[in-house]
Structures are given as C-alpha cells and as structure tokens.
C-alpha cells in the first residue's frame, strides 16, 4: 500500500469532473487537416459549433478567438464541468492557442484547468528550460485544479523525448515545483493500470489513469464495459492509485477515410467496425457509475476526480463540446448529460 492509499471511509463528496482538451480547432496545419476529416457531409454533425459549413467537403473551422473561448467556458460552466485538462504543446504551437485564450479570458474563473504534460516535454535541449519554466508558471496560475488538500493536478500522456520518457526532465520539473512550494499530484495516463504504475511510480507518479479507449465493437455499451472492466476493475484488483476514465466515444472513421499526418501508421486504418455514437443517457450513466466508483473506493482514488474523454476530440468520436447544426443553434445534448451528474450550484 502506498502512502496515498491510507484507509479511508467512502466519501459522500461528489468527485470533481474534468474533460480533456485537444485543441486542433484554432488554426494552422492541424486545423486544415481536421477540416478534411470532418468535411464530408456525413460527418458534419460532429463539427464544433463555431464551424462554417459551405457544402459537402467544404468547411472552415476558426476557433482561435476570444469570443469563441469565452462561449466555450460558458457552455462548460453551465453544464457543471469542474475543469479542463489541456494537452501541453510548445508555447509557439497553434495547438497552444486555446490555452492562451483561456488564460486571457475574463470568464476563466467559471471553470478551472490543469495540464496534461505532452509534446512540450519533447522539445530540444535549447527549448527545454523555457518550456519547463512555462509549465511551472502554469501550476501557479489562479484557478489551477488541485486535489489532495491543495496539490496541483498534473496528468502526463505520451511524453517522449528522442523516443523515450524523459525521466530526467520530469524529475527536474517536479524538483523545481517543490522548490517553488508546490507538490504536484502526478498521474500517468497509460493502458494497463498495474503495469503502468509499476513503470511510472519510480519516475514520481502517484497514480495512473488513461487518455482514451478504442474498440472494434459496434455497440457503445461494449466500449463502456471494456473501460469499466479493463481499466476500472483492473485498477481495483491491482490496488493502484487511480483516476477513472469516462469515455464519450471512439469512432475514427473520419481519420481513416481522410488520414491525418500524425497517425498514418495506426491500427484503426484497418478497422471496419467502430462503436456507435453515444447518447445523452449513455454518457450520463457512465459518468454516474464513475463517480460512484470513486466514492466507493476513496483509498484507491485519493484525488477524488474523474477524467472525461473528451471535450473536443470531434473527429475521433469523443466530444462534449456543443456541435454545429444546419439551423445555427449549437447542439448541447451531450453537455446536458454532464449536467445531470455533475451540476453544482452557482459558478466559481
């Protein structure tokens, strides 16, 4: 039993609920590629609400402005979402524009944020000190999500430098944070709770979780069963500190038909069956079960939080962000599912 797994009574407090942000919708080359994945008429209902549709295979996505971010904050806060977990890309990347816009928003206090360490940890040696210091500064920002009595919550997913996990950089980051009076609670996002914790604990991670889950089954319910069995139940059996993943879907047909440059060798290109689109009831039930799991196993889940895939993985099949409709009114039904489980009185 680890230090964080001291015996606790079941908690009546609702776990905090976060959602992953993968921000490909703000401009640049990545946005041009996802305009192609979601351009076909049959996929346009997945587009983020701020997209412009001119016809079949003719869409424009321009989310890189303050007005769009401010409205996203309002959508998320009204639904009762507690925090966004931003994938951390290098500061100069267009994939960092949404984080910049969140930080500059006058409405940002309505929803907290945290980091998923990612590509920013894979920069060159010359760039690394600046990215390290940037990440540390973000932990000190007002509204940074904390757990376990005020510790900054930090996830890590596919953090690599020269093909391997940069253990020395991660240790440097943690040591610098502690010198600044911070003690981040670091969660490793992998695929197998027992094996992941054995791998990541020596690096300084205190818990494990996941980014997403794929499936070749046609039923969304089977994807949920897979997550709850292979992830939640496996973590419980192994007794490793854990943050449950809640999936909102996984259907990468848009990328299979219009490949993106960073996934050309992935297995799903040979896949012919993907899970059906989740309904509002599906998501509400799955999230409710995750919150119950955390409350029932407080020793296993000391951070008292769950993480949702995802806020805006529109072309991968997992999204909560309202979507485009021909009539112009955003479709927010998935966020209503969150509201049913996670609503809280008032805003921050």
pLDDT digits (tens, 9 = 90+) for 99-137: 999 999 999 999 999 999 999 999 999 999 999 999 999
**Residue 3's pLDDT is what?**
34
Please give the CATH topology (third level) of the domain spanning 14-342.
Answer: TIM Barrel (3.20.20)
- What is the spatial distance between Cα 315 and Cα 61, in angstroms, rounded to a whole number? 13
Q: Give, for 138, the enclosing helix (H) or strand (E).
A: helix 128-139
Q: How confident is the model at residue 344 (pLDDT cuts 50, 70, 90)?
A: very low
Q: How confident is the model at residue 339 (pLDDT cuts 50, 70, 90)?
A: confident
Whole-model pTM: value is 0.94
- What is the spatial distance between Cα 203 and Cα 240, in angstroms, rounded to a whole number? 15
pLDDT digits (tens, 9 = 90+) for 169-226: 999 999 999 999 999 999 999 999 999 999 999 999 999 999 999 999 999 999 999 9
- Over 60: is that where the pLDDT of 343 sits? no
Percent of the chain with pLDDT over 90: 92
**Residue 7's pLDDT is what?**
36
Strands (E) in the chain, as ranges, are 16-21, 52-55, 58-60, 83-88, 112-117, 146-147, 151-157, 185-189, 207-209, 245-247, 305-309, 312-313, 318-319
- What is the spatial distance between Cα 77 and Cα 314, in angstroms, rounded to a whole number? 20
| Domain parsing of the chain, residue ranges | 14-342
**Residue 342's pLDDT is what?**
59
Residue 190 CA, distance from chain mean position? 13
């Amino acid at each position: 039993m680890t230090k964080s797994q001291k015996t606790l009574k079941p908690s009546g407090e609702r776990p905090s609920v976060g959602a992953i942000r993968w921000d490909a919708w703000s401009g640049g080359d990545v946005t041009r590629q996802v305009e192609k994945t979601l351009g076909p008429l049959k996929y346009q209902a997945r587009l983020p609400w701020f997209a412009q549709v001119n016809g079949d295979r003719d869409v424009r996505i321009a989310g890189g402005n303050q007005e769009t971010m401010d409205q996203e904050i309002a959508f998320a806060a009204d639904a009762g979402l507690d925090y966004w977990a931003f994938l951390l890309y290098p500061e100069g990347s267009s994939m960092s524009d949404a984080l910049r816009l969140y930080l500059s928003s006058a409405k940002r206090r309505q929803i907290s944020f945290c980091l998923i360490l990612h590509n920013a940890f894979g920069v060159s040696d010359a760039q690394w000190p600046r990215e390290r210091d940037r990440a540390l500064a973000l932990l000190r920002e007002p509204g940074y999500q904390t757990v376990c009595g005020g510790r900054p919550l930090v996830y890590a997913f596919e953090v690599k430098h020269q093909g391997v996990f940069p253990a020395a950089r991660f240790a440097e980051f943690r040591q610098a944070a502690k010198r600044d009076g911070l003690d981040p609670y670091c969660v490793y996002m992998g695929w197998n709770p027992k094996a992941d914790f054995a791998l990541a604990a020596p690096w300084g991670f205190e818990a494990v979780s996941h980014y997403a889950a794929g499936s070749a089954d046609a039923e969304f319910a089977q994807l949920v069963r897979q997550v709850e069995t292979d992830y939640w139940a496996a973590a419980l059996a192994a007794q490793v500190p854990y943050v449950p993943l809640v999936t909102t879907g996984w259907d990468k047909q848009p990328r299979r038909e219009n490949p993106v440059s960073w996934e050309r060798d992935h297995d799903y290109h040979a896949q012919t069956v993907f899970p059906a689109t989740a309904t509002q009831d599906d998501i509400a039930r799955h999230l409710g079960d995750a919150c119950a799991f955390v409350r029932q196993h407080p020793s296993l889940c000391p951070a008292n939080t769950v993480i949702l895939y995802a806020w805006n993985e529109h072309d991968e099949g997992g999204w909560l962000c309202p979507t485009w409709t021909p009539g112009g009114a955003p479709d927010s039904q998935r966020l209503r599912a969150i509201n049913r489980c996670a609503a809280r009185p008032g805003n921050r």
